[in-house]
Structure 1
Amino acid sequence: MAPATWTKLKNAVWVVIRAVLLIGLVFVVLYPILVKIVTMIKDKADIYNPVVVWIPENFTFSNIKIVYEIMNYWPTLLNTFTLSTVMMILQLVSCALAGYGFAKWQSKWAKLLFAGVIATILVPPQTIMVPLYLTFQNFDFFGSYQWITGGDGLNLLNTYWPFILTALTGNALKSGLYIYIFRQFFLNMPKDLEEAAFVDGAGMLKTFTHIIIPSAIPSIITVSLFSFVWQWNDTFFTGNFLSGVKVLSNELVALPANVNNYLLFSVPGASLETATSIDPFYASMLVDTGLMLSILPLIILYLFVQRYFVESVERTGIVG
């Protein structure tokens, strides 16, 4: 076989192998979403129909309507969007400042403190949930509240204050990772930019806001998207701190119970005596529909920002 023909054959085989691998990876990622989309429009009668796999025989939007009412969708969506946006902004400010400090602060304590930041990435949040919960249940700033009022500390649970305070102090969800991203980016920025600003008479704060931050757009985009999406999908902290507030991710935690209650008291003929007759497969179908409705805004967001996200991750990886 001629060398040119052999080269073309190897290239063709590689193209086929690469296409099969990519198609397989895409299918693995999209399969759960495709299943939930089919479930959303599937009628209850199709659950036990062995013929129905991907294409329902009886199309319906009743699942979406039921879950929409159970979740109180639009008010709950607004609460979740507000919380995720506020947390994203606060984490950007605190983590950028902390990352810049670790990148430029030369001290024997810097490495030790940064090791603490890395520890927050490695240690699961479940290990510190109990002290955090007790702290915000009786929040007392250095004993000042008890000294002034003589009573117990403030109960900040079921408010947004636990999230705001942890975000401002760089201790919120995944804040350690965001500090690490900013630090690695700032470490590789040319020192000439800062020195030129200092020569021109700019102080540390002005240099940071006018020189450093505009140059860190890739890191800002990466951290913004990570922070927004992870806060949106969080069920652990919202389930503990906001147990009495309607947040979309928190509502999903109790969604199976809410679905069962809805079926029990809203379906015609349902009563306490028929509670055991609730179809668990139908309840599971409604839960899948609710999950799809909860991630739908993120899918729409990704369609608009995917190009900027990929570019920011690439540039962050090259610089960091």
Structure 2
Amino acid sequence: MSAKIPENEAVLLRYQRARNKGSEVLWSIFRYILILGISFVILLPVLKQISVAFKDPLDIYDPTIYMIPVNYTMENIRLAMNVLDYWPLLQNTMLFVISTTLLATASCALAGYGFARFTFPGSNVLFALVIMTILIPSSTLMVPMYLHFREFDVLGLVKLFTGKDGVNLLNTYWPSLITSGLAIGLKAGLFIYIFRQFFRGLPKEIEESALIDGAGGLRTFFTIMLPNAIPPIITVLLFSFVWQYNDTFYTSLFMSDSNLMAVKIASFPADVNQFLPRLLGIEGTEARADPNHVSMIVDTGILLAIAPLIILYLFVQRNFVESVERTGVVG
């Protein structure tokens, strides 16, 4: 026969269960309120820009209109696209960003594998220097990198054969392509760290089996290790794509005259002030557009600039979260 629980203990047990359940309910309510508050703070600027993009200029002078336009129009989007020359600009930006992203992912994966699996004299020192690149602000490297690519040379070969101090690679895509391909580009230290942490977590028996079968280091990496590194590859691809797309430091340093989204958005307000009167048919040497209308076009242009990233996130956010959980970022 099962022993009966004393009445006072049964009451105490029910009280503890009710208290625990109440604590869980309160924590759930607090958690949902916190998530809603953070989401509201993040999404409010985007919602305002979406609202502005479809507003008629008359709506901004109506104090009764806040978020939902009364007079819908696509004119703001059309004007912003004309000023930006949007589709050629987006095509050129995507080609550049995809190229640098693929180069950075490939080179950082190879470097991370080397740090994870090969021990050689000075390997710890080199990896410490990689970590230092994460900690050191990019602005401290601005001058040497600018001078290096203004007179770019490899082991003095250019000076040896041409007599010149080097080749000027500024205002070309080569500086970003070279740095991405050599794993020293934008956020490369972080990407190397992510790959190193992941490869260190894989069992060494896989490589030992490949070594017995006659595979070398590179063959093992490309045929065995890399196919198993899908989570860090997805993580680095997305991080690199977003950061390269939004980068203004390296693009303004190396490619100030290039046709890239980040460079155009930086000068977009001045371009709107210059071209908007002509697009609206306002003539005269002193012709100026309405400042409030200019602000609407600028907000619409910024929305068009971030639209590809929003669309990308909607399609890959689930894979991105899963890949981050399986990499060394949280481990």
TM-score range, shorter chain: over 0.9
1:118 corresponds to which residue? 131
Question: In terms of mean alpha carbon deviation, does 125-134 or 161-170 score higher?
Answer: 125-134
Deviation for aligned residue 1:29: 1.7
> SS of the counterpart of 2:286?
helix
Asked if 1:307 corresponds to 2:318, the answer is yes
1:95 corresponds to which residue? 108
Deviation for aligned residue 1:170: 1.1
- 1:227-282 Cα deviation digits (max 9, x unpaired): 1111111122112222222111211111011111012433333433244xx43332
2:295 to 284, 301, 309: 284
Asked if 1:40 corresponds to 2:39, the answer is no
Deviation for aligned residue 1:169: 1.3
CA distance in 2, matches of 1:299, 1:318: 23
The verdict on how the C-alpha distance between 1:317 and 1:152 changes in structure 2, with shifts beyond 3 A counting, is: closer
Alignment of 1:1-320 (within 5 A): 2-3=14-15, 4-275=17-288, 278-317=289-328, 320=331
Deviation for aligned residue 1:299: 1.1
- 1:106-161 Cα deviation digits (max 9, x unpaired): 23411111111111111111221122122212212222222212234212122111
Percent identity, please.
Answer: 49
The verdict on how the C-alpha distance between 1:47 and 1:18 changes in structure 2, with shifts beyond 3 A counting, is: same
Specify the code of the residue in structure 2 equivalent to 1:213.
Answer: L
Total equivalences in the alignment: 318
Question: In terms of mean alpha carbon deviation, does 20-29 or 138-147 score higher?
Answer: 138-147
The verdict on how the C-alpha distance between 1:185 and 1:258 changes in structure 2, with shifts beyond 3 A counting, is: same
CA distance in 1, matches of 2:281, 2:297: 17
CA contact (8 A) 1:264 1:272 kept: no
Specify the code of the residue in structure 2 equivalent to 1:90.
Answer: L
CA contact (8 A) 1:139 1:153 kept: yes
- 1:167-193 Cα deviation digits (max 9, x unpaired): 111111000100010111111211111
Question: In terms of mean alpha carbon deviation, does 286-295 or 310-319 score higher?
Answer: 310-319
Q: CA RMSD in A?
A: 1.8
CA distance in 1, matches of 2:251, 2:313: 23
The verdict on how the C-alpha distance between 1:229 and 1:319 changes in structure 2, with shifts beyond 3 A counting, is: closer
CA distance in 2, matches of 1:153, 1:37: 48
Give the alignment's TM-score, normalised by structure 1: 0.94
Question: In terms of mean alpha carbon deviation, does 257-266 or 221-230 score higher?
Answer: 257-266
- 1:53-97 Cα deviation digits (max 9, x unpaired): 111222111110000011111111011111111111111111011
CA distance in 2, matches of 1:93, 1:317: 18
Give the alignment's TM-score, normalised by structure 2: 0.91
Deviation for aligned residue 1:16: 1.6
The verdict on how the C-alpha distance between 1:222 and 1:70 changes in structure 2, with shifts beyond 3 A counting, is: same
> Computing the radius of gyration over CA atoms, which structure comes out larger, 1 or 2?
2
Structure 1: stretches of 5+ with no match in the other structure: none
Structure 2: stretches of 5+ with no match in the other structure: 1-10
Question: In terms of mean alpha carbon deviation, does 240-249 or 32-41 score higher?
Answer: 240-249
> SS of the counterpart of 1:14?
helix
